[in-house]
């Protein structure tokens, strides 16, 4: 009678290391993108909550946001990624942009962000 196998085999261990490595690389590549997005979201949210936002144009909002973006090293968006629009009598500031980053070899990761903020 053969003894029962205990523990994992080498193949299972290598598979586990591969999955964990893949997960780590993915998180390592995506973290800076999402950190920058949360900075952008915070800056634009603060601007949208200021009084008088309903009368501002996209360029005026950009001129308020640009210094904060420069201080925080945000370079993923431009004024073309912002829009001011009305929907059902409410004025919104829209944000839409995408970020690409290298992943492995010739594979890239692309993250698309779309958000709107109600202007006061």
Per-residue pLDDT of the chain (120 residues; tens, 9 = 90+): 677 777 778 889 999 999 999 999 999 999 999 999 999 999 999 999 999 989 999 999 999 999 999 999 999 999 999 999 999 999 999 999 999 999 989 999 999 999 999 998
Whether 4 is in a domain gets the answer: no
Whether 2 is in a domain gets the answer: no
| Number of neighbours of residue 21 by Cβ within 10 angstroms | 10
Whether 69 is in a domain gets the answer: yes
Find the domain containing 42 and state its range: 10-118
Whether 3 is in a domain gets the answer: no
Whether 5 is in a domain gets the answer: no
Our CA angle for 111, 100, 112, nearest 5°, is: 25
Whether 29 is in a domain gets the answer: yes
Q: What phi, psi does 100 have (nearest 5°)?
A: -115, 140
pTM of the model: 0.84
Query: Number of structural domains, the chain?
Result: 1
């Amino acid at each position: 009678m053969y003894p029962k196998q205990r523990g994992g085999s080498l193949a299972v261990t290598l598979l586990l290391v591969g999955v964990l490595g893949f997960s780590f690389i993915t998180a390592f590549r995506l973290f800076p993108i999402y950190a920058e997005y949360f900075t952008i979201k915070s800056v634009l949210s603060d601007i949208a909550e200021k009084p008088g936002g309903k009368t501002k144009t996209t360029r005026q909002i950009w001129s308020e946001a640009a210094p904060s973006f420069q201080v925080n090293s945000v370079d993923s968006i431009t004024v073309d990624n912002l829009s001011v629009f009305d929907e059902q009598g409410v004025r919104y500031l829209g944000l839409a942009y995408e970020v690409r980053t290298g992943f492995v070899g010739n594979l890239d990761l692309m993250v698309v962000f779309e958000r709107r903020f109600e202007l006061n």
